[in-house]
A = this chain, B = another copy of it.
């Protein structure tokens, strides 16, 4: 099963007609996650035909408007569409008050259960876990309290049965499948042992995605994001504005490339471009010097990665 990331918005600061603020839609192991939600995100979800009724968890990195001003509108829309299933919001302390105040003053509340998980810790913490994935925070250094998010598939507990082989041995009945899936060999009545590697198909390595926006260049995040398959790292500026990047606590494309190299990730995606740059190809050029497998976030672009053995 693949991990699929759809870019809904990848520009910094104020929304413009063809330049929307940060929002991403992530499909991982049957979950539909929304990451950040700048103004206009619900329209972008429609534009790119994302099945947004399936979103069950929303992760907000920080409370600068270009990362969350679209949230309350999206929550209202879910209500208008008579959503019933639970929705979980993960974000900095204060996010609950912002949303609930607006619902209170409009004399309405969601008909679906809306559950807030407010974040305060400055250390990486596990904020979501089920049998197939985990989500951890990546503490980022920005002007206000900010987290990135690390989405990781778990090591598959069970292997897949190789039915083409199993069918050859009538002795291997259904009652034995459970042990084979757990990795055990099978002993035939003749005493012959069939090794588990012949009876099963590898599940592939678990996939991982790290979302890092907004942040100053900070090698302290490297141990957390080490070896991820996909890294999104903000690159608000090019190196001509290295000083501005530092004072505003953002990164340059080159610095994003340096982080990708240090963390030995497989693929880097850049985004959160400042509107001062008309040609975003320059971001790729500068980052590629540090890290070759660099790609540009663009609205509507889909990044899909598959497990390897």
CB within 8 Å of B: which of A60-105?
63-65, 69-70, 72-73, 76-77, 80-81, 92, 94-95, 97-98, 101-102, 105
B16 touches A43 (CB 8 A): yes
CB within 8 Å of B: which of A15-41?
15-17, 39-40
CA A73 to CA B65, docked complex, whole Å:
7
Q: Write the chain B residue with the least CB distance to A39.
A: B73
A98 touches B102 (CB 8 A): yes
B105 touches A98 (CB 8 A): yes
CA A81 to CA B275, docked complex, whole Å:
12
CA A33 to CA B94, docked complex, whole Å:
32
Contacts of A81 in B (CB 8 A): 14
Shortest Cβ gap from A91 to chain B (Å)? 10
A144 touches B107 (CB 8 A): yes
A47 touches B17 (CB 8 A): yes
User: Is A106 in the interface zone, CB < 8 Å from B?
Assistant: yes
User: Is A143 in the interface zone, CB < 8 Å from B?
Assistant: yes
B65 touches A46 (CB 8 A): no
Shortest Cβ gap from A114 to chain B (Å)? 15
Total interface residues in chain A, CB < 8 Å: 34
Contacts of A73 in B (CB 8 A): 14-15, 39, 65, 69
CA A94 to CA B80, docked complex, whole Å:
23
User: Is A13 in the interface zone, CB < 8 Å from B?
Assistant: yes
User: Is A42 in the interface zone, CB < 8 Å from B?
Assistant: yes
Query: Given that A98-B102, A101-B98, A101-B101 are contacting pairs, would A43 and B65 also be in contact in the complex, using a CB cutoff of 8 Å?
Result: no
> Which of B13, B46, B95, B107 is A16 in contact with, Cβ under 8 Å?
B46
Contacts of A15 in B (CB 8 A): 40, 42-43, 73
Shortest Cβ gap from A220 to chain B (Å)? 22
A65 touches B17 (CB 8 A): no
CA A39 to CA B65, docked complex, whole Å:
13
Query: Given that A43-B17, A77-B14 are contacting pairs, would A65 and B102 also be in contact in the complex, using a CB cutoff of 8 Å?
Result: yes
Q: Write the chain B residue with the least CB distance to A13.
A: B80
CA A92 to CA B95, docked complex, whole Å:
22
Query: Given that A73-B15, A107-B144 are contacting pairs, would A102 and B63 also be in contact in the complex, using a CB cutoff of 8 Å?
Result: yes
Q: Which of A16, A42, A69, A143 has the most CB of B within 10 A?
A: A69
B76 touches A65 (CB 8 A): yes
CA A14 to CA B80, docked complex, whole Å:
8
CA A97 to CA B98, docked complex, whole Å:
10
Q: Write the chain B residue with the least CB distance to A15.
A: B43
Shortest Cβ gap from A123 to chain B (Å)? 21
Could you list 5 A-B pairs, sorted by A, with CB under 8 Å?
A14-B73, A14-B77, A39-B40, A69-B72, A69-B73
List 5 A-B pairs, minimum CB-CB distance, nearest first.
A94-B105, A14-B77, A39-B73, A63-B105, A65-B76
- How would residues 185 to 223 of chain A score, 1 for a CB under 8 Å from any chain B CB and 0 otherwise? 000000000000000000000000000000000000000
Contacts of A92 in B (CB 8 A): 105
CA A135 to CA B15, docked complex, whole Å:
31
